[in-house]
Amino acid sequence: MKKIFISILMSAILTLNSCSKDDSTNDEPDVVDPPVTVVDPVTPQNVRTFMVDQNATDETVALFYNLRKLSQTKFAVGHQDAFNAFYGAGGNSDIKKTTGHDPALLGSDFMFITDKSNDGQASNWFFQQENKIIQDTKEAYSKGMINIFCWHLREPNNEDSFYASDMTSEQKNTAFRSIMPGGANHDWYKLKLDKVASVLSNLKDANNKLIPVIFRPFHEFDGSWFWWGANYCSPNEYKTVFQFTVDYLKNTKNVHNILYSFAPDNTYSTSSSYLSRYPGDGYVDVLGMDNYGDFNNQGTNGSNLANNKLKYLSDLAIEKKKIAALTETGYRVTNTTPPITNWFSTYLYDAMTKNNVQLAFVMFWNNGNGGYYVPTPSATNASDFNSFVIKPKVVLQNTLPNMYVLPN
């Protein structure tokens, strides 16, 4: 005990001496560690090696690189069907009407393009929608915007719906498996992909250059509202179809203007569970997540929960040298569902920026006659949206950098 006491006493004396007035007059400056500089391993010279399609067009490569770069400091704001909400009026986007500027990202859908009723005739409503989508995509690109496509593919039996609730039990349990290689509807699925490939291979700008798009097939697969949902296929079966989709478009159809997005809903709470149906780094450019539930009037707790999920998504993208994004979200305001105070400027913005989260973009779902996700100028939450878009990390079309040229 004596030895221990002496040791403690000497230590205390040394401590006091080190803090003495005489010592404080030491002219030697304190040593400050230099800031740690994190060097991004993805460069303009090697960026293709981190992409799904190493033969992608130059503009598609630039989009991948610049989305990653953008996410390190800011995020782009997008809107589904911004120029033409199919059941509402066209014209200027609602974001432009409210803020004075277009969104930085346009969301579109292959649904009408691949519909069984689309006969390619000028008088056909579905073909008219196909032409609208193509023209909107070209307009967005001409403005420097980013294009992203989802695909509400109708089930392969009757092609009437994409909702599992509209199918029989047998149809729900067999539909997705039937489009796998060797399945009864595999050739049907290839024909649908042929149409997607044809549209994308002819999607060109005024200079006859292919327009890059982000494609997120079979989204929200962790839920079971769609016929490709978790209750209707195993993880390996989901991976197989996703991988086939990419390989067929890239290698068989030689489509090279696509970035591929993996986009579940928000049910996952860990990195490992998020990756349970992940088809592999060789098949995914964008790690996405759709999340409505955590923002559905859940206040700060919901915002924090969303931020936790976006944090592991962001960390995974950094680790894998990919892009992270909130691929779909929103809070729908209707005549019976009022806006939530500060939903955009506080709850959503905090979820997307706290804890050093790095996200390339967020996309709101489309406005329609029955309700809206993005407020129009007369809406009571227009001021909240305007407060959101002037936040330091928010990018609309007018402040979006050139996404289609690699830096020197």
pTM of the model: 0.90
Mean pLDDT for 75-89 is 80
Q: What is the DSSP string of 21-66?
A: HHHHT--SPPP-PPPPPPPPS--TTTGGGGSS-TT--HHHHHHHHH
162-168-173-177 Cα dihedral, nearest 10 degrees: -50
pLDDT tens sequence across 345-371: 999 999 999 999 999 999 999 998 889
Tell me the mean pLDDT in the region 46-60: 98
Q: What is the mean pLDDT of the chain?
A: 92
What pLDDT, on a 0 to 100 scale, did the predictor assign at position 237?
98
The residues that bridge with 262 in the sheet, in sequence order, are 287
**What pLDDT is stored for residue 285 in this prediction?**
99
Residue 376 DSSP one-character state: -
Return the higher-pLDDT residue of 262 and 34: 262
Instruction: Please state whether beta strands 258-262 and 323-329 pair in parallel, antiparallel, or not at all (unpaired).
Output: unpaired
Q: Which residue has the tokens 């962790």?
A: 222
Provide the token pair at 34.
Answer: 């230099």
Q: What is the average per-residue pLDDT within 2-11?
A: 38
Whether residue 160 is predicted with pLDDT greater than 60 in this model: the reply is yes
The pLDDT assigned to 35 comes to 55
Share of the chain above pLDDT 70, in %: 89
Cβ neighbours around 118 below 10 Å, total: 18
- Judge whether residue 30 has pLDDT over 60: no
